[in-house]
Amino acid sequence: MIFSNILYLIIVTTLLYLIGIIGLILNRKNILIIIMSLEIMLLAINLNFITFSIYLDDLLGQMFVLYILTVAATESSIGLAILVVFFRIKKTILIEDILTIKS
C-alpha cells in the first residue's frame, strides 16, 4: 500500500521536473520564466527528497531540503535584484541584450 503512494509522488515529482525542463528548453528569451523553471525543478527535487526521507524514516533528506530551499531563495533574490538594476539601466530584460553586454 505504501509503495503505491510513493509511486504517485515519484510520478508527480517527475512531471514537475519535466515541466521545469520544458520551460527552460522552450523559452530562451525571458529570464523570469527561466528563473521560475529552475525553481520548479528545485522544488520537484525537494519533494523527491522529502518522499524518500519519509519512506526511509530518515531526517537527513528533510534537513537537506531546508538547505536547498535556503540556497534557492537567496539565488532568486540576488538574481531578481540584479535583474531590477539591469532593467533600470537598459529598460529591457531580454536574454539577447544581456549576452551582448561588454564591460
More confident site: 83 or 103:
83
Distance linking the first and last C-alpha atoms of the chain = 59
Containing domain of residue 89, as a range?
Answer: 2-99
Q: What's the CA gap between 46 and 63, in Å, rounded?
A: 10
Provide the domain count of the chain. 1
Q: Supply the CATH number for residue 92's domain.
A: 1.10.287.3510
Give residue-wise pLDDT tens across range 78-95.
988 988 888 888 787 777
**pTM, entire model:** 0.80
One-character DSSP codes across 39-101: HHHHHHHHHHHHHHHHHHT-SHHHHHHHHHHHHHHHHHHHHHHHHHHHHHHHS--BHHHHHT-
* Residue 98: partners with Cβ closer than 8 Å, 6 or more residues away: 31, 86
Give residue-wise pLDDT tens across range 8-58.
999 999 999 999 999 999 987 888 888 889 999 999 999 999 999 988 888
Check residue 30 and give its pLDDT.
Answer: 81
